[in-house]
Amino acid sequence: MATQTQVKPDPQLQSRRGTFDVLQDWVTTVDHKKIGLMYIAYALIFLVVAGIEALLIRIQLAIPNNTFVSPQTFNRLFTMHGTTMVFFVGMPILFGFGNYLVPLMIGARDMAFPRLNAFSFWVSAFGGILLYCSYLSGFGLYGAGTAPDVGWFAYAPLTARVFSPGHSTDYWTLSILISGIGSIGTALNIVATALCMRCPGMKLGRMPLLVWLYLVTSGLVFVTISPLTAAQIMLCIDRYLGGHFFDTQAGGSAVLWMHFFWIFGHPEVYILVLPAFAFANEIIPVFSRKAIFGYPAMVSASVGIGFISLSVWAHHMFTVGMGPGPNAFFTFSTMVISVPTGIKIFNWLATLWGGNIHFTTSMKFAIAFLFQFLIAGLTGIMLSVSPFDWQLGNSYFVVAHFHYVLVGAILTMIFSAFYYWYPKMSGRMLSEKLGNWHFWLFVIGFHLTFDFMHIPGMLGMPRRIYTYEADRGWALLNQIVSSGAVFQAVATLIFVWNLVASYFKGEKAGPDPWDAWTLEWSTSSPPPSYNFATIPTVESRRPLWDRKHPEEPDELFE
C-alpha cells in the first residue's frame, strides 16, 4: 500500500483559474482536505444560524410573560436550535477536522474511499439544507408546513399525525435520516483509513491519540446513528403508511420511542465529545512541551468510554417509570463511565505537571476546556443519581449541564483546534490579539450564561417553556443568563472575523509553527494535494520529536 515515489507538482495547475473553475474544483473534489474544509465552513454557517436562534430564545426568556415571540415560534426555535447544533454544527465540524487530519496524521495520501467521502459530505449538506427549507414553507393549521416544533428528540406521540399535522415533523425526520447516511459513510471511511492506510512503522500503538479517538467515535457512529435511522423509518411508517409503532391508541408504546431515541441520543453526545478529547490529546502536550502522560491508559479509557456509553441511555428516562431495578442499573452504569473519563482528566493534568506551559490562544481554550469539562462531568454525576434526576430532569439544570459539555467542553475545544490547525490549513497564523478578545469575551459570556443557568433548574424551572410565571423567582437569573449570550455572540463574531482577516493578512506560518511532533507538521502549510512528497516511515508515537531530538528519541522510552 505504501508508495515511495517522488511526485513533482504540475506547473499547469498553478496558472490562474476563473471562478467557475474554482467552484467546479471544490464541488467535484474528492480530496479529503477540501472536503474537510467544506464540512467546517458549512458547520460554521449553521453555528451562526443556530446561535441566532439561541439569542432569540434568550431574549424571549429574559423577562417573565414576555411576548417577543409567540409560543409556536419559540417551540420552533428551540427545536431548530437543538437539531441544528447537534446534527449540522457538531457532527460536520468534527467530521471536518477528522477528514482533514486523520490521513495526514497517519502518513496517508487520502482517505480509503475518496468518492464515498465526497458523497457523504454532499448528502449531509443536503440534509441540513432540507431542514432549513422548512422555514420557507407556509404557515397553516397548527404547525403545518413549517419548521419542526417537536423538540430535538421528537417524543412520540407528539410526532404522530394526529398531534403534529402538516409536515414540520417530516422535515425533522427526513433531514436527519439523510444526513445520517452521510455520517455513516464518513465513519466508515475513517475506520477503513485508520486500519488500512497507515504508513510503514505506524503500528496501532503508535497512532496519534486523535486517530484512536476518531476510530472509537466512528465505531460508535455505526451502532448509534443506525438506531435513530431505524426509529425514524418507523416514525415515517406511522405517519405515512398508517403504522402503529408509536401509536398509543392502537397499543403502541411511547416509551419505545424514548428507548430507541436515547440508545442513539446518549452515544451521540459521546460521538460529539470524543473528538474534543482527541484535540485535547494533541494540543495539551504540545503546549506543555511534554509527551501525553499515559498513552496506553488514554487508549483504554477512550475505548472504555465508547463501550460503556452504549449502556447508559436510560438515564434520560429516570422519570418515565421504569421501576427501581432499571433506575438503579442505569444510575450505576452512568456513574461507572465517570471512571475512564476521570482518568483522562487526570492524565491531562499529569501532562501539564512538570511541563513548560505556553499560553497561546489555543492553549487558553484547552485550559478552559479542562476546568469546564470537569464541572460538566460533575453535574453529570449529580444527574446520574436518579432521585436527584427526578427533581432536576427536564429542568434548566439539565440544559445547563449539557450546554456545559457542548459549549464549555466541545465548542471550546473546537476553538482551540481552530487556533492550532488553522496555520496548517491556510498557511497563515490567526491573530493572537483577536484571539485573546475572543477567548476572554467568550469565557465571561459562557460562565454568565451557563453557571447561573443551573440555579433556575434547582428552583423548579422546567425546560422548553416559552415563558414562565413572575412569582417563581426565576426572572433575575434568566436575565443574567440572557446577558451572557450577548458576550458569546460578540466573541463568536470576533472569531469569524479573525478567520477571514487572517487568511489575507495573517502572519505566514511555516510547516511547523508550534514545534509539534505529529506527521501533519512535516509537510507544507497548506499541504499539497498529495500530502507528502514521500510516504514517511515512523519509529515511535512522535516521529517529529525523534527527528528533532535524535539523542533521546521516544522509542527508547515508550
Partner 1 sequence: MFFSLQLIASRGLSPHADWLPASEWVRYAAQNLICLLALHFNQTGTSMFAPQATSSRSIFGLSMLVLSICAVIFLIVSSLLLYTLIRYRHRRGFTQREPAQIYGSTQVELSWTVIPILIVIVLFLATARVIFVTETAAKPSNALDVVVIGHQYWWEYRYPKLGVVTANELHIPVSDPTHPAPTYLTMSSADTDHSFWVPRLAGKMDVIPNKVNTMWIDPDKPGLYLGQCGQYCGTQHAKMLIRIYADSPTDFAAWIAQQRQTAAQNPAAANGRAVFESNACVNCHTVSGTSARGTFGPDLSHVASRATIASGAVPNTPQNLRAFIDDPAHFKPGALMPAMRLNARDLDAVTQYLTTLH
Partner 2 sequence: MSTAVAIPRQPIEEWKLPSRGVVGMACLILAESAIFIIFVVAYLYYIGKSLTGPTPREVLELPIFSTICLLSSSITVHFAVHSLRTGHVSRCATWLAATILLGGIFIAATAKEWYELIYHYGLTLRTNLFGTTFYSLVGLHASHVIVGLIMLSLAFIFALAGKVTQAHAERLEVLSLYWHFVDAVWVVVFTVVYIVGR
- Residue in 300, 287, 285 with CA at minimum distance from that of residue 542: 285
Query: What would the x/- binding string for partner 2 be over residues 473 to 512, using CB under 8 A?
Result: -------------------------------------xx-
Interacting stretch for partner 2, rule CB under 8 A, among 247-255, 382-390, 437-445, 482-490?
A: 247-255
DSSP letters, 247-292, are -GGGT--HHHHHHHHHHHHHHHHHHHHHHHHHHHHHHHHHHHTSPP
Number of residues assigned to the chain: 558
Interacting stretch for partner 1, rule CB under 8 A, among 49-57, 129-137, 217-225, 460-468?
A: 460-468
Q: Binding partner 2 by CB under 8 A: which of 45, 55, 158, 256?
A: 256
Using left for φ > 0, alpha for ψ between -120 and 50, and beta otherwise, residue 33 falls in alpha
- Residue in 233, 261, 236 with CA at minimum distance from that of residue 160: 236
Indicate whether 294 belongs to the interface with partner 1 (CB under 8 A): yes
Indicate whether 460 belongs to the interface with partner 1 (CB under 8 A): yes
Interface with partner 2 in residues 99-158 (CB under 8 A): 112-113
151 makes contact, choosing from partner 1, partner 2, none, with CB < 5 to 8 Å by partner type, with: partner 1
Interface with partner 1 in residues 214-243 (CB under 8 A): none
3-state SS record for 361-425 = HHHHHHHHHHHHHHHHHHHHHHHHCHHHHHHHCCEHHHHHHHHHHHHHHHHHHHHHHHHHHHHHH
374 makes contact, choosing from partner 1, partner 2, none, with CB < 5 to 8 Å by partner type, with: partner 1
Indicate whether 455 belongs to the interface with partner 1 (CB under 8 A): yes
Least separation in angstroms between CB 245 and partner 2: 6
Torsion, CA 294, CA 300, CA 302, CA 305, rounded to 10: -130
Q: Binding partner 1 by CB under 8 A: which of 434, 459, 480, 486?
A: 459
Tell me 558's DSSP state: -
Using left for φ > 0, alpha for ψ between -120 and 50, and beta otherwise, residue 458 falls in alpha
Indicate whether 320 belongs to the interface with partner 1 (CB under 8 A): yes
Interacting stretch for partner 2, rule CB under 8 A, among 28-36, 65-73, 237-245, 428-436?
A: 237-245
Indicate whether 558 belongs to the interface with partner 2 (CB under 8 A): no
Least separation in angstroms between CB 76 and partner 1: 10
Interface with partner 2 in residues 514-553 (CB under 8 A): 522-524, 532-534, 536-539, 543, 546-547
Q: Which three cell numbers stand for residue 140?
A: 397553516
Q: Which three cell numbers stand for residue 89?
A: 454544527
CB 55 within 8 A of CB 485: yes
Q: Binding partner 2 by CB under 8 A: which of 36, 143, 157, 227?
A: 227
- The crossing angle, in degrees rounded to 10, of helices 254-288 and 412-426 is 60
Indicate whether 203 belongs to the interface with partner 1 (CB under 8 A): no
Interface with partner 2 in residues 175-214 (CB under 8 A): 184, 187-189, 191-192, 195-198, 200-201
**What does each C-alpha distance from 44 to 31, 37, 96, 550 come to in angstroms?**
20, 10, 11, 41
Interacting stretch for partner 1, rule CB under 8 A, among 210-218, 225-233, 253-261, 497-505?
A: 253-261
459 makes contact, choosing from partner 2, partner 1, none, with CB < 5 to 8 Å by partner type, with: partner 1
**Cα end-to-end span (Å), the chain:** 27
- Cis amide prior to 157 (ω within 30 degrees): yes
Indicate whether 295 belongs to the interface with partner 1 (CB under 8 A): yes
Size of the site for partner 2 (CB under 8 A): 60
Indicate whether 162 belongs to the interface with partner 2 (CB under 8 A): no
Q: How many CA atoms lie within 13 A of 32 on its CB side?
A: 24
476 makes contact, choosing from partner 2, partner 1, none, with CB < 5 to 8 Å by partner type, with: partner 1
Question: Is the four-CA dihedral 230, 236, 238, 242 of positive or negative sign?
Answer: negative
Interface with partner 1 in residues 373-392 (CB under 8 A): 374-375, 378-379, 381-382, 385-392
**What does each C-alpha distance from 253 to 137, 216, 221, 236, 364 come to in angstroms?**
31, 32, 26, 16, 48
**What does each C-alpha distance from 495 to 84, 111, 281, 358, 434 come to in angstroms?**
20, 30, 23, 21, 7
Amino acid (1-letter code) at residue 338? S
Query: What would the x/- binding string for partner 1 be over residues 477 to 496, using CB under 8 A?
Result: x-------------------
Q: How many CA atoms lie within 13 A of 515 on its CB side?
A: 9
Least separation in angstroms between CB 401 and partner 1: 12
Interface with partner 1 in residues 59-98 (CB under 8 A): 70-72, 75
144 makes contact, choosing from partner 1, partner 2, none, with CB < 5 to 8 Å by partner type, with: none
Least separation in angstroms between CB 219 and partner 2: 8
Indicate whether 557 belongs to the interface with partner 1 (CB under 8 A): yes
Choice between 49 and 274, CB closer to partner 2? 274
Interacting stretch for partner 1, rule CB under 8 A, among 91-99, 103-111, 346-354, 494-502?
A: 346-354
Longest dimension (CA), the chain: 75
Q: How far is CA 59 from the centre of its chain?
A: 26
Least separation in angstroms between CB 63 and partner 2: 44
Choice between 70 and 537, CB closer to partner 2? 537
Chain residues that interact with partner 2, rule: CB under 8 A? 1-2, 112-113, 184, 187-189, 191-192, 195-198, 200-201, 218-219, 221-227, 229-231, 233-234, 237-238, 241-245, 250-253, 256, 260, 263, 510-511, 522-524, 532-534, 536-539, 543, 546-547, 555
